[in-house]
Chain A
Amino acid sequence: MAGRAGALAGWAALAAVGLVCLAPLLALLAQPGNWPGAYGWSVLRFTLMQAALSALISVALAVPLAGALVHRQFRGKATAIALLGAPFLLPVVVAIFGLLAVWGRSGWVSDLLGTPIDIYGLKGILLVHVFFNLPLATRLVLQGWAMVPPEQLRLGAQLGMGWRGQWQVFGAPILRATLPGAFLVVFLFCITSFAAALILGGGPKATTVELAIYQALRLEFDLGAAARLALVQLALCLAVGLIALRLVRPVQFGAGLALQPIALPRPKMLVWLDWMILVLAAGFIGLPILAIALRGLVGLGDMPASILPALARSIGVALGSGLLATMAALALAGLITRLRQGLARGVELGVMLALAASPFVLGTGLFILFNPILDPSDVALPLTALVNAVLILPLLLRLFMPALAQIKADYGRLAQMCGLAGFAQFRFVTLPLLARPLGLGMGLAVALSMGDLGVITLFASPDAGTLPMVMHRLMGSYQTAAAAGAGLVLVTATLGLFYVFDKMGARLGHRI
């Protein structure tokens, strides 16, 4: 794609990912410790089970939701699709309180039904995970739909293709191309779940590996055991990843990265179903967010003055991290599209595993590595941006790769013939055509970095810190209303940034 320099950038990005993920782990593995025993294995089993279930449900529900979005037209559809990114970007604790406001024992649903409903336990964990990941999975499936060339859709409409034909020609191939990847992404995100699983889990039955690692690191100071646990988890994720990626069948569609407003014929019953699905989804996703807004508005007045500088700092770090992640993901995606099949799959899987890296292990390991050399607070900032970027990279990769492959397939020859190679090709062909997924990717990266990824709490600097930190501190000092207000500010800023970048991408991008 972009010549030798591009390939080099790709390898450099890969090396950075590997280093950031593995070096801390190795640092901790060097410490003596026990391999997980019976307790550790039962925790691992539970973690894998809840992650797999969450992923299955999210992905299964994403299919009809994506279908409904594709087939139905309504005002504000583009905004609705953009906002599908929203739940995923919410800070976990904020989202949980929002969900509880709706589904909790004193929530709206309980009030409606007259009796308290109990979502604590596995169902609570699944609820949170599906809330976070269903919209994301839907967006990934929609990306598959967006790659269908409009001519084919028009043809389908013209032929009056029934649902069976549509399934064979569009549905099945799209799902084969997007679902395994979507499943893997959601699965890996749910693996490292900490607060979500714990607060709604109901008790120690719902212990995840992250808690076990947290305990080992913080309370028992058993670094070796924590690292070994993390390693076993990584190995299991690797196995799952291998299976999932093997199931991916890349689609040989023609062009298109934006959703086309084409109306394929749809039986009356399915139309009703579509609308019902859309309403239900809007409620499921929108109500908790509304609750967050309401709670937050109440507390806005109580916020301390340090909110604004904290917000500014958060935005600064997030922008840096987002830029880093986007550039690295682009370089990596470019690299992978040039590699041979086997090696490409391997590299892709390796990067995806960054999602399964334990933030606690990473943070502690990095601390150990840096402490002898430098004062950790000196490197806190660049390290934060770097680690955040690495953790977000896999998701961006999933976004960029199909798009890059598409561009190469469509315009590779034309560019070669015109002598557009190396940087010129990158600048005049790849970048403009990639604008849409780039905008989305940058938006996701910046927004995710705004929330606290919990890695570098050890590197705290002697000052007020970032917005999630301020929010956490407020919560820890009885000031729940102010914390809710801070949460609202954080959420608004996060979503705002995401929306800006996503929109920019859509504006600058081309319906190619």
Chain B
Amino acid sequence: MSYNRLGVNKSGQRASIPTHGRGDPLDDLELVTAVRNGDSDAFRTLFERYNRRAYALAFGVLRNQDDALDVVQDAFIKAHKYLDKFEGNSSFYTWLYRIVMNLAIDHLRKHRRVKPVELDETRVEEHAAGDVLLPQILGGNPGRALVDKEIRARIDRALDELSENHRAVLVMRELEGMSYEEMAQAMGCSKGTIMSRLFHARRNMQKRLLDLVDNPSRELLEELGVAEGDDAREPRS
């Protein structure tokens, strides 16, 4: 999965902007080295390169702009403080997003709003009976979401309605392409729990976005246990 919209590749090793005052962009490792050698501008370049991407990750989990900005701020401060511990085995952004994710999860724990504990904390097979993935979504055109404000609002609402744990795994997986193992480490739980959360998060999103499906069949609605007038079936105005 690439992340080309912001001008950086998935690995974050060679971003096209900003250039740190030179014609050609410095790669992340060169910038990290420069910061270690006391080049204060280099850290700003790293900040400018990744602040929005880090924000997208934090906001995806926290769903609050101010909280997400706080996490981005703390993440960069922490990254600077522990830059000597960055060994360069992974990309700078991979290292940074782990910091962002850990801070976002810490934030959730500290400011946990009352949310029911998911039923998926045990093995997924035990409670997944009856839960299946939807065989269709969005009439085969997810690209509509990019231009349709109403669809975007629906997605936002659906994300807001997910439990924090479900939303966190969904964001980690879809935005950053993290493996189940990486997510398990970040959230301090087993891979099985991550898999379960992800499965239910996706299914819940599908269910909440069902009204975007073009002409869902009665059989599909019955299979999902969705009755007419259900939230997920609110007609688009």
A-B complex is real: no
A interface residues with partner B (beta carbon < 8 Å): none
